[in-house]
Structure 1
Amino acid sequence: MSLSSHLQELKKKHVALSEAVEKAQRAPGTDDLHIADLKKQKLRLKEEITRLAPEAVM
């Protein structure tokens, strides 16, 4: 897998996590720990994207 395709996959996962966070925040009764976990995953992906391609900051 090339670096650019790997970055594209990471970005897709980041977008999917963003959508999951938004959906979870709108849903009544969603566990705050679940939302926090999703946000941590999203942050880790963003950090990895930035580490691999600093010019590709989201």
Structure 2
Amino acid sequence: MNVPSEMSFDEMLRVKLGVLRREHRDLDEAIYALEQNGRPDILTIRRLKKQKLSLKDQIATIEDRLIPDIIA
């Protein structure tokens, strides 16, 4: 087999993108669970939403790097 031992930059970005998407989804579930609680901790929910927004920005940045610009 001729398998390269190193990943390309795009492959590393795709792996990172998958990890960030999974973290984003996990935060979404955690926020939902906290909101369903009888007395939700607003400060914790706000902190998690801020972290989720940061992940969304990182995801968008990586997607922009991976998807080439198409001039119409």
Q: Which of the five TM-score ranges fits, normalised by the shorter chain?
A: 0.7 to 0.9
Q: TM-score, normalised by structure 2?
A: 0.71
Aligned partners of 2:31, 2:41: CA distance in 1, in Å? Answer: 11
* Unmatched runs of 5 consecutive residues or more in structure 2: 1-6, 68-72
Match of 1:7 among 9, 12, 17: 17
Identity %: 36
Q: What is the CA-CA distance between 1:28 and the residue it aligns to?
A: 1.3
Task: Please provide the CA RMSD for this pair.
Answer: 1.4
Q: Which structure is higher in helix share?
A: 1
Q: CA deviation at 1:29?
A: 1.4
> Pick from 20, 29, 33: which aligns with 1:19?
29
| Number of positions where the alignment pairs a residue of Structure 1 with one of Structure 2 | 55
- Consecutive unaligned residues in structure 1, runs of 5 or more: none
Structure number with larger C-alpha Rg: 2
Distance 1:23 1:34 in 2: 12
